[in-house]
Homo-oligomer: A and B are copies of this chain.
Amino acid sequence: MRVTAQELAILLDAKIEGNPKAIVNKLVKIEEADRDSLCFIANPKYEHYAETTHAGVLVVSENSLLKNKNGTTFLRVKDPYNSFAILLEKFSTESTAIKRGIEQPSFIHESANIHPTAYIGAFSYIGSNVTVGEGVKVYPNCYIGDSVSIEKNSTISAGVKIHRDSLLGERCIIHSGVVIGSDGFGFAPQKDGSFIKVPQTGNVKIGNDVEIGANTVIDRATLGSTLIKDGAKLDNLVQIAHNVEVGSHSVIAAQAGVSGSTKLGKHVMVGGQAGFVGHIQIADGVKINAQSGVSKSIENPGASISGSPAEPFRQHYKNIAHTRKIGELMDRIEKLEKILSKN
């Protein structure tokens, strides 16, 4: 597609610096740009590329100190990353055809209720009493257990396993290899040191607009429901244990893990590889740094937390700085000891 800087400015509500008639025909990374390219700088780390690029059009923040040069036309916007999302949508040629209908061979239990606009890929298994809503896509090699319900316009990528009684909302995106509704990890220790399994009789409930990354696992509740609320976003290889609640619009980065019965509030942000013990509460808007180990409830909304065991962000970085001064302290104490031994 060919588009002028002027047209893009209208689409993005941007201020133009340079030639409004500049024409671009592709969206590329700034380090690979030529005169036909539309580019973005959303992260200050990449601003240095603006010095040398010959991109036709460059979208930058209205607050950026960058100046247009080399004949590049600037579009200044409030939020470049947001504009990026809008333009990716516009420029991405829909590379996969719209899927619809039931591919063969597939296995669909006679009691399942599949909407006529849904897509069921080959080698997918649909159990008894399953509901697959309008516009839902179940890609190949999926397993959908008995009594699962998937509401309209959700996408289940290839090789997903969703176990019995799980409920998914509208417009969810579940990536390949995800397991939803596996048994929680519950065992009652016996006197001889062995364990008996605690049956996991609950389910998983997932709200609307939830996205779940590849190979992430969400266990069913022992009793009641494990909850992933509206708009939550989970990255790849995340562990969600039984009876956990993830609040709406919370974000969990890759390889993080939440132990049983822990409840995250709304708008919580969890860094990669962070972990939570079980049975704690995390207030709304809390930010957990990558690799943190959260061992107790956080009651202060919007708090920033870091370290293992986790502590307030500032405290943690003060402790790290202090630790690096221990050598110096040892020297100073030795000096004092020498002075005093002479007295």
Report Cα–Cα, A194/B208, bound state, in Å. 12
Quick check: is A53 within 8 A (CB to CB) of the other chain?
A: no
Measured between alpha carbons, how far is A32 from B145 in the docked complex, in Å?
A: 26
CA distance A105 to B188 in the complex (A): 39
Q: Is A140's CB within 8 Å of the partner chain B?
A: yes
Closest to A223 in B: B29
Q: List 21 A-B contacts (CB under 8 A).
A: A27-B223, A45-B279, A82-B196, A85-B188, A85-B199, A88-B201, A88-B222, A123-B141, A125-B141, A140-B143, A141-B161, A157-B161, A159-B161, A177-B215, A179-B236, A182-B213, A185-B236, A193-B266, A214-B217, A275-B291, A322-B330
Chain A interfacial positions (CB closer than 8 Å to B): 27-29, 32, 43, 45, 79, 81-82, 84-85, 88-89, 91-92, 95-97, 103, 105, 107, 121-123, 125, 128, 139-143, 145-147, 157-159, 161, 163-165, 173, 175-177, 179, 182-183, 185-188, 190, 193-199, 201, 209, 211, 213-215, 217, 219, 222-224, 231, 233, 235-237, 239, 241, 249, 251, 253-255, 257, 259, 266-267, 272-273, 275, 277, 279, 290-291, 293, 308-309, 315, 318-320, 322-327, 329-330, 332-333, 336-337, 339-340, 343
